[in-house]
Chains A and B, each alone.
Chain A
């Protein structure tokens, strides 16, 4: 085992943060990612630590090109998130964030499925406190639903791993493939955390309910661990191409009509993961590189967008598009930083999204999926529409909401500044990122055709937005809830449960009523014959007795003669 495996450093820091006073805690939190990342970079390029527990051969720590890249990415994400949340006095959030980051490191460096399962569940248990930390009834409900779904994912993973162990006698986490019960269960487990269509609703339910700073951590780790796990276990699984294509398209419709701007970003997150899932499904070197590079960029630009919205929420206490607007007047720096994030997610040339998403797009066409490509192109225009334009427009421009506030605290601005610098830095100089990717990159991002095509797509999408807005066709931001898959478990299932209980209660009542009636009649009958006034209890006159004896004797006489 290396001396400082990242997860252990972060777990220790979480323990220390639970007792340290404010300033030492802040220093510790800033130092941990730096020290831990330096330690990671010192490790050899390939490292596998094995140990045996009883008869079980485990590999709790593995470094290779893929896990190293995610390790570096998570250090950057953790550092930005920590800087962004430094001002908060809420100790719970600091402890939860450190433990959550530690679990993400544990999961990506796990060399076997059992270790992966342990950290998979730790991710759920530690991150849920970032949702609870909002301390509202809504966040409590959303957090509980989040936890239940995440734990189910973990249970599926464990079940799948045990089936694979039974078949092969090994728990190593290598390529799994969508075969057999074990592979299918693990695929589903990864799919839940990756927000596959129909399994996605925990994300859009819970992330917008977390604290302004908590959402930044949430958007960095859970889904990206799942993308990593898919890339390792299911690269080249064709089903992923179609699953990913659906993921890129359906959330953008919800994003257009959603009012809560952090929920808009949550939907757009599924859309971005869709691009990665398509790349992993194609499985070629270019596609995998594109998917991984896009995961890397997404953590940073989605983090930047989440931070800019977190800053707005922190300063104004509002997050609905219908209540915001005109904030560029009092938050010009935040506005500019948000626009950098918006340009990056929209894949403007010279911003980070462009250098990674285009790799996936080219790979899709080269592998002969023209219709999937058209879907992704539709989603690319759509993401610019809802994340690139809608987010900055409704928060910072649109109609003036009359809100006058100030720029957020310095630490928030610095965190956003770091993320924005990385967005532009990677966008201009992508080879730094390309050098870290699992396969050698033979791809030129800046070629005239790509750049022109992308600019045309974006400029005309912007024109469509402007036209719809000026013509008054664009749907207004409204206070609303939009029904999604969660309706099944938040409405239909409780309603059925309630109905079942009511009906069975009524049936039981009716049955007991009927039973009572029956019993009463029976008692009346008994009383009629055997009660104190009953037929058999009456005092009969002696004469009638003599008469009956005579009748009996006569009858026996008649019978005797017959």
Chain B
């Protein structure tokens, strides 16, 4: 430092606190929801307005850190003058909108969406969706017994247009064995309801790695790597940011998958502690999920401004040095003796 005098004085304080420039103030828009008047800034969504007046709107594919893709249709509401129901998660408010969120039409639509999902997707690790199903009194059994599961990788070879029209005797499903092709992730697509969140997290909304996308069409649509390669031959960098946003457990950490299989996964016995990752100077918050003094999962809070719930491979998986792992078996995360 050429002018070393700085170093011998306390740094001068600015006379004003440095702040981000003020955002332009959006004028308020007034709309009516279920007969109640709501005033909310231009650019807000109907869902924002529903939240503002305390309405509990079901969502599956929506997450505030991701761009809305409007695919699950469970958040739909009735908009006066609109031929179709509109997705509240992405439809922006306009002056004078009149909206019904609990009309017969809305309830019926939400119920059907949830029934279709229940009849075709394994929701056993999606307690929130099952609660929504209960709220809308679904009856998935009316679509018949589930069809037998597909063989390993069978669904990956379905081509667009090859889908056969079902007989109606059985409920078609996406049931298939899980894909375990690496030491960190499991992809259990019998639980996938195609919400696109993983694709968005891997894409421009967060990671920008583009390892996965939706392949196929209609009921044969599925999440796939390029050319359906194993994850280890894909662009995947194992950040786990897709797993973090998955609402059904279709994507899970191998550690959790193995423990669930062994019957030892016990969320009631787990603690969650926020700390800071040690692998670089960015300062990502890690939420350590600990069971019996072992880290069983690492996440990051979505409302944390540095990470928005995202981490890298080191932060997500680089914790094994504080526990005891069998290094001799590359696909095992089972504990070995001390």
Partners in one complex: no
